[in-house]
């Protein structure tokens, strides 16, 4: 949708339209606009450095047309270009579906309040604030100085206060409704520590690089060696296995005769057996002669 580049802002300056809210399914969401961190600084070659009707007129004259938008992101401190198509039929309010406010983005990453420890059963815990990973980045009214948040909290004693919170673990923004109460049973009206200043800014995130896409369609699937049949004319070498050798006759016990064709040194089972093995034994009597 968009690409981060090392671009200079056309016309220079540090002003632009701060994106405060992005509606679900809107052209702004499809263009990848990020609430609270994105600033629209130009459309095409027109620098949006004044709070006038220039942006509104550009959108009206380019409904359903693709526009090139230059955006500054305070979280990554980078500039990127993306395309957006203003629409009157996307299903929500406005041509872009975003809420914006003209202001300077210089020092935008400094006006954040770091949520530190959160005490049990405090208004902060009941509101779902997460210790050390949550950062309060805005409210319905502008917050420019460190004391602006605390003044706003005091003005909402026992009344719901909507805050916009960014979480570093999830890398996402959410709305949090908290009710300050000095009588909740602990210290302060929120029951959480708040850090402000250089040591409590949102860590700068690096812009992710696009991963190269490799086409592996030309690669053939690998077949295991054991599954491949041997080629023709291939002889599988056989390893001889040891088998007991037949006995070799070295001495003839009494009552046994050596076959007539016996060759000394060779096993008996490898030599030609006698024609009548029974008659070779001297203990066998000869058959009787027939009667006359």
User: pLDDT value at position 285?
Assistant: 54
pLDDT in tens, 117-131: 999 999 999 999 999
Q: What DSSP line would sit under 176-231, residue for residue? A: EEE---TTSSSSSSSSEEEE-SGGGSPPPPPPPPPPPPP--TTSPPP--GGGSPPP
Record the pTM: 0.61
100 Cβ contact partners less than 8 Å away, ≥ 6 residues apart: 17, 18, 19, 20, 40
**Structural domains of the chain, ranges and CATH numbers in brackets:** 2-104 (2.30.42.10), 113-200 (2.30.42.10)
Distance of CA 62 to the CA centre of its chain: 37
User: Which of 138-147, 154-163, 252-261: highest mean pLDDT?
Assistant: 154-163
| pLDDT-based confidence at residue 81 (cuts at 50, 70, 90) | very high
Judge whether 141 and 111 are in contact, CB under 8 Å.
no
pLDDT digits (tens, 9 = 90+) for 5-34: 544 676 788 999 999 889 999 999 999 999
Is pLDDT at 284 greater than 70 in this prediction? Answer: no
Does residue 18 have a known ligand-binding role? yes
**Residues contacting residue 248 through CB under 8 Å, at least 6 positions apart:** 265, 266, 267, 268
* CA 175-155-131 angle, 5° bins: 40
- Residue 97 phi, psi (nearest 5): 75, 30
Is there a binding annotation on residue 114? no
Quick check: 266 pLDDT over 60? no
Q: CB count, 10 Å around CB of 92?
A: 16
Residue 236: per-residue pLDDT: 46
């Amino acid at each position: 949708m968009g690409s981060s580049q090392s671009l200079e802002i056309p016309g220079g300056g540090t002003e632009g339209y701060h994106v405060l809210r992005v509606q679900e399914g809107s052209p702004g969401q499809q263009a990848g606009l990020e609430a609270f961190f994105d600033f629209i600084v130009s459309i095409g070659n027109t620098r949006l450095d004044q709070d006038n009707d220039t942006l509104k007129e550009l959108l009206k004259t380019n409904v359903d047309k693709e526009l090139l938008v230059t955006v500054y992101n305070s979280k990554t401190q980078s500039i990127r270009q993306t395309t957006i198509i203003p629409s009157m039929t996307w299903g929500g309010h406005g041509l872009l579906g975003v809420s914006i406010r003209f202001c300077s983005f210089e020092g935008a990453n400094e006006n954040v309040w770091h949520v530190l420890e959160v005490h049990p059963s405090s208004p902060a815990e009941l509101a779902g604030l997460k210790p050390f990973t949550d950062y309060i980045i805005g409210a319905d009214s502008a917050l420019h100085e460190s004391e602006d948040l605390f003044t706003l909290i005091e003005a909402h004693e026992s009344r719901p206060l909507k805050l916009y919170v960014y979480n570093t673990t999830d890398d996402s923004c959410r709305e949090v409704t908290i009710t300050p109460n000095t009588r909740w049973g602990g210290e302060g009206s929120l029951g959480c520590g708040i850090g402000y200043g250089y040591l409590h800014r949102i860590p700068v995130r690096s812009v992710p690089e696009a991963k190269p896409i490799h086409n592996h369609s030309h690669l053939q699937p690998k077949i295991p060696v054991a599954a491949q049949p041997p080629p023709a004319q291939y002889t599988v070498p056989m390893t001889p296995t040891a088998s007991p050798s037949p006995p070799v006759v070295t001495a003839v016990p009494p009552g046994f005769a050596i076959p007539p064709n016996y060759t000394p040194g060779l096993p008996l089972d490898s030599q030609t057996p006698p024609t009548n093995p029974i008659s070779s034994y001297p203990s066998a009597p000869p058959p009787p002669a027939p009667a006359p």
